[in-house]
Amino acid sequence: MTSPSWPETSRDGVTAPDLGYGVPGSADALRHVMGHFASGVTIATALHHGIKHAMTATAVCSVSLEPPLVLVCVSKASRFHGAISKATHWCLSLLTVDQEALARHFANRGRDLLSQFDRVPHTPSPLSGTPLVDGALAWLECTTYGRHDGGDHTIVVGQIVRASGLPSDDDPNARPPLTYYRGAYS
């Protein structure tokens, strides 16, 4: 039996692991394998001391129905980490396929925090005034239910206190979601 190696080159020239035997867990392995897990794209937002904070986030998942909980994993190195830790409420706007530019904007580490919403149409959330991205597929407003250490991220669990989305698939304004898969938007 040959020992597994990392990385290998697959038929399409993309670096790929030997899935037969597996490879030791590593940041590269996680990036590569989880890059094959297609996800929706959200903009996480928080309002703190009157400053509108935001961050593109795909590490988002529903957690519980009773109570209604979702989670977002936030890098401890991000500026958003401080904001979501201190804000009373935070929001997730689920992007449509037309909103890739927004996803890129709020993932840009160099952007200016104070002006980052200047050219982004948005609406204050009902309970806290946290920015909701206009034209999003759906949005959630949350209070923090729990915070858990997740290595270089914090797993922030939110209790949904307000939510809205398009009513049905046959709505004439319905748009497909923006997705992220193997490092590309579609």
Ligand X SMILES: Cc1cc2nc3c(=O)[nH]c(=O)nc-3n(C[C@H](O)[C@H](O)[C@H](O)COP(=O)(O)O)c2cc1C
Residues linked to residue 131 through DSSP beta bridges, in sequence order: 124
Which of 57, 87, 95, 136: binder of ligand X (CB under 6 A)?
A: 57
Q: Which is nearer to ligand X, 56 or 125 (CB)?
A: 56
> For residues 59-82, b (16+ Cβ closer than 10 Å) or e, as one string?
bbeebeeeebbbbbbbbeebebbe
User: How is residue 10 written in tokens?
Assistant: 């697959």
Q: How far apart are CA 80 and CA 130, in angstroms?
A: 13
Which of the ranges 61-69, 103-111, 123-131, 171-179 carries the binding residues for ligand X, by CB under 6 A?
Answer: 103-111
Q: Contacting ligand X (CB under 6 A), which of 17, 45, 70, 80?
A: 80
User: Which tokens is 122 given?
Assistant: 């948005």
Q: Which is nearer to ligand X, 23 or 154 (CB)?
A: 154
| Residue 147 contacts residue 72 (beta carbons within 8 Å) | no
Alpha-carbon distance 158 to 137, whole Å?
19
The piece of 10-18, 53-61, 125-133, 135-143 that touches ligand X (CB under 6 A) is 53-61
State the binding string over 137-176 for ligand X (x if CB under 6 A, else -).
----------------x-----------------------
Q: Indicate whether 178 belongs to the interface with ligand X (CB under 6 A).
A: no
Size of the site for ligand X (CB under 6 A): 17
Whole-angstrom distance, CA of residue 56 vs CA of residue 10: 30
Q: Quick check: 90 binds ligand X (CB under 6 A)?
A: no
In the complex, the residues that contact ligand X under the rule CB under 6 A are: 41, 55-59, 73-75, 78-80, 107-109, 153, 180
